[in-house]
Chains A and B, each alone.
Chain A
Amino acid sequence: MPDQTTPLSDTDPHTQAQDWAREGRSVALATVVSTWGSSPRPAGSALAIDGEGAFVGSVSGGCIEGSVIREALEVMEDGAPRLLSFSVSSEQAWEVGLSCGGEVRVFVEKVA
């Protein structure tokens, strides 16, 4: 690695997950694995969550983060990864500035 590297952003969820893990915190990672056409965040988008519920990144425009974080805290407790499905109705979608809704699937796993 070049010695003068500047991080792309201090809010990169993977980097944050790594940093938290180094500090000895519990960490879960939530990743969008499938989504619909005009969804706010594409597949591959990630959210890092620590044992206290602190989070960095995003898996939607803010519609489902709350539920994902709640599930992540459970995943850190029992260690079992899970695949979550959320349906965003067209009405809800409209409220967050999207023309239509769809289904988003988020994989949540304990990484530390």
Chain B
Amino acid sequence: MAHDRPTHEPSAKGTSLMDVFKELIKEQEEGRPCALATIVNAQGSIPASNTAKMLVREDGSIAGTVGGGLAEGKVIAEAREIMKTGTPRMISFNLHDNPLLDSGMVCGGSLDVFVEPYLPAISLYLFGGGHVGLVTAEFAHRIGYEVEIIDDRPEFANAERFPWARKVHAGPWSKTMAGLAPNSRSMVFIATHGHVFDAEVLTWAVTTSAGYIGMIGSKRKIQTVRSKLLTAGTPSDRLNRVHAPVGLDIGADTPEEIAVAVLAEMIAHVRGGRALKTASRTISDLDHPSPAATIEDGDEDKRALA
């Protein structure tokens, strides 16, 4: 092996195609991103073309092979980028022009390797199963996010109300939160039936790795919750990333409109959309208004709808 990254196999030789798929499924079940590289075209002769597949794990370790050598090292490096960007790519090598890349598998021809990312599902932890929660959860599910509903009221958090949810948690907030571990591909949306609960959930949410945190409420309510958390010892830099007022600034009013604004903000977060800079607001804007936050914000509280 020309690369110095760790491998889980002592030797990639003898890894069957099925082993590569099994390893891929294992990574997916563990919730880790990985990428699959396949030789799709080779000018020259390649032995065992049926098994010319390689799984690249998040840490750069591999299962299977695309021929070894410098070309494989390059594929591994590209695969790690592709796990981050989420965009599949074809990597082409002209081995005639770059004999150093030749592993001996293809003699002086060209080699095309297709690398596709397998990313863990995006999960949404939705706190509050009320009107806004119900519609937001439904839209989120339609978009393809895996949704978990959390509420302390069993009548608002049950499998009949959210039949397609990955999980529904009914019970005391703190008890439920202790069992949840959002990762960087998770999003947290807070729309409970009380400011006190929102504050309790937010205190927990900012300590997690969740990639997106949004909390419903007017500017006045957000100020109140923020001061409360700061007084209780939550560092301000942790609070600054919280999206509040939540959702893109499109003047949403009804639960359905709010859900659209919130999901649009989440999509912008997931996809790196430009709207996140121009039409999304965070708690830090309370001190330093962003272009989006300078637009006059209605101060009516949407809590009645939550």
What residues of chain A have their CB less than 8 Å away from a CB belonging to chain B? 1-2, 4-6, 8-9, 31, 33-34, 42-44, 79-81, 83, 105, 107, 109-111
Contacts and interface: CB of A to CB of B under 8 A. Distances in A.
Contact of A83 (B41, B50, B89): B41
Contacts of B87: 43
B88 A2 contact: no
Contacts of B159: 4
A44 B114 CA distance: 9
Interface stretch (B5-13, B60-68, B162-170, B252-260): B162-170
Interface string B26-69: 00010000000010110000000110000000000000000000
A43 B40 contact: no
Contacts of A105: 40, 90
Given A2-B166, A5-B146, A31-B114, A43 B90 contact: yes
Nearest to B88: A44
A80 B144 contact: no
B116 interface: yes
7 contacts: A4-B168, A6-B164, A8-B146, A33-B40, A33-B88, A83-B40, A109-B38
Given A2-B167, A44-B116, A110 B50 contact: yes
Contacts of A31: 38, 114, 116
Size category, B interface = 20 to 34
A40 B164 CA distance: 29
B144 A107 contact: no
A91 to B, nearest CB: 27
Contacts of B146: 5-6, 8
Contact of A43 (B50, B88, B144): B88
Nearest to B38: A107
A107 B49 CA distance: 13
Nearest to B28: A1
A78 to B, nearest CB: 11
